[in-house]
Amino acid sequence: MSEFIPISEAKKMRSGVNVEAVVKSKGEPRTVNLKSGGTVDVCDAVISNGDTEDDQMKLTLWADDIKRIDVGDTVVITNGYTNEFKGEVSLTKGKFGKMDVNPQ
């Protein structure tokens, strides 16, 4: 199994991010237009794996993943990647990543 890293380290990475964290909050889904045409629902959650603000980051959830998580769940992102938008770094599983919810 891949080594999990603190969110403070994940914020400095671009790809290959492996994080285990707790969902602290979850926003309302919104619909966005895709470049390829059509629309998809997107939702932002805040995840944390430490006690400081450096240990929190936004997790962007797409489509069916939105319904998979709730506040208090543990999520494991494997091979995720980060984006920076308006100075804020967010994590997403992307096309090649994987998200497990409350793994045993």
Do the beta carbons of residue 47 and residue 20 sit within 8 Å?
A: no
The pTM of this model reads: 0.92
The DSSP bridge partners found for residue 40 are 32
Architecture of domain 7-86: Beta Barrel (2.40)
Question: Tokens in use for 72?
Answer: 């208090």
φ and ψ of 9, to 5 deg: -80, -40
34: left (phi over 0), alpha (psi -120 to 50) or beta: beta
Per-residue pLDDT of the chain (104 residues; tens, 9 = 90+): 458 999 999 999 999 999 999 999 999 999 999 999 999 999 999 999 998 999 999 999 999 999 999 999 999 999 999 999 899 999 999 889 999 999 87
The DSSP bridge partners found for residue 59 are 45, 91
What residue has token string 């237009």? 33
